[in-house]
A and B are shown apart, each in its own frame.
Chain A
């Protein structure tokens, strides 16, 4: 079944290089110049992370470090409660990513395959949540979680990221499911499958690319968020890594080196997730975007 239904362009041959008539050397030289310029900010962080504060003061941020010191990295790791922060970040990011996608799959399936009167309006209503800045609901949400006794646990972050992830996940999954022919669902229903079976046995296997897109996006966004943990937690051992990073940037703080080192460490998990899903990512967006 899955073999037949796999969308054709998932396995499409790579397009041949388009119009390769330019002198290759010139092209790559130009490209390299652009890439070097583009990478400059990132390189700045890396260079800084190996320098002492005194060296930064004397040589500036952009010069090469005099020696490859890892002191900033060890200080960033041991200075705060970073190991705990990292664990918390994973404990929030992984479940919230999974839950938001799972819920988006359910709603996306209904909006794509089980339309009812008013479902279009309901769909717009769900997607609308994507458009307002979440800062405005800090106080009501704080009151909610405080009242139910979840303040200062990781739960508020998991729940909030799940909820705020529903719009984007619904949008992408609905577009993706729409691209799968209706006939497949109908055939399965006639064969005696129920909607749950259609969703899990027919729809999900062909939508792995879309799931990968969402997994990458959601993981990155949730991992990098620092607004909610500041509000919903107060104990140091409930902090996430981005809060740790943000708190390094105190008003009087000039520890650029440690900051750089911590930034690099904090972005490694998203980088890994990205590389892992990269293949699917490119395919998934194609499919999701065909239907807009």
Chain B
């Protein structure tokens, strides 16, 4: 019995783990190796420089800028699309046909590639004929007109908003899913007890959305650590690194400056950060499970 169970375990795990190790893990180890060298990506030869690349990280202000931006991105990713998605989900939940039409409109951006979304938002932010500035002028707020992507104060947030625009639909779907698991008896009971909408929302609905929130936040963290495509299309990390994320920074160092060794070191640090976050995430999830079991 135990034998057959072990046999099946081995049988089930062998193929997925082999592929995973060969394609996902082993190349990462190779990068770890590169991070100890001064390879430029072109030359067949390179030398071993030990921890030099990691020491360089410690004194590179651009690295800390990228860390700061990634943290901003992560915090924004946890709140902006999630709260927006939650609000829409609450507003549209159970509204029948009309609600479904609105839902699909909010779904739509998920289907578009980030390349397309980046391009559209470049148009949205165009200083002369972009919709954002046009609307501001229409509202008589000419003073707020900006070159949104060219201003280092606004570039990062402009990209984050474009990204959140897409991610909001995803958060909405997950919260809608969460809402279907809220038993209507509970909200009805609250209603009978004389609770108003907000009270019932806060005391009954929101707590029951906990599991959905865990999923939304996990996706937000993963996506913010990997945020690359839309930055690449919209700003390439600019103007002058003001919208660099860690992934973008690593790419620029490796493929534009040809510091492959240094870029690999950045990736190692990025991976270590994510390991910390994963263990934190799993601890949270375990606590949640204990609460809900």
Contacts and interface: CB of A to CB of B under 8 A. Distances in A.
Q: Do A and B bind? A: yes
A15 B109 contact: no
Interface residues of B, number: 101
Interface string A127-140: 11111111111011
Interface in A242-288: 242, 245-246, 249, 256, 259, 263, 266-267, 270-271, 274-275, 278, 281-286, 288
Nearest to B92: A31
Given A132-B28, A133-B228, A220 B165 contact: no
A202 interface: no
Given A19-B200, A137-B27, A290-B292, A127 B16 contact: no
B211 interface: yes
Given A128-B274, A285-B215, A292-B211, A245 B23 contact: no
Contacts of B279: 124
A244 to B, nearest CB: 11
Contacts of B188: 16
A249 B119 contact: yes
A291 B179 CA distance: 15
A87 interface: no
Interface of A, secondary structure class, is helix
Interface string A9-27: 1001111111101000001
A4 interface: no
Interface string B97-112: 0100010111111111
A142 to B, nearest CB: 10
B136 interface: no
Contacts of A135: 228, 247, 250-251, 254-255
A226 interface: yes
B146 interface: no
Contacts of A19: 187, 191, 197, 200
A164 B24 contact: yes
B76 interface: no
B189 interface: no
A233 interface: no
A52 interface: no
Interface stretch (B56-64, B149-157, B236-244, B262-270): B262-270
Contacts of A16: 94, 184, 188
Interface in A155-175: 159-160, 162-164, 166-167, 170
A137 B178 contact: no
Given A133-B247, A283-B177, 10 more contacts: A41-B109, A45-B116, A48-B123, A116-B6, A124-B282, A131-B226, A166-B20, A195-B4, A281-B173, A289-B177
Interface of B: 4-6, 8-9, 12-13, 15-17, 19-20, 22-28, 30-31, 41, 90-95, 98, 102, 104-117, 119-121, 123-124, 129, 131, 134, 165, 173-174, 176-184, 187-188, 191, 197, 200, 205, 211-212, 214-215, 222, 225-226, 228, 233, 246-247, 250-251, 254-255, 260, 263-264, 267, 270-271, 274-275, 277-279, 282, 285, 288-289, 292
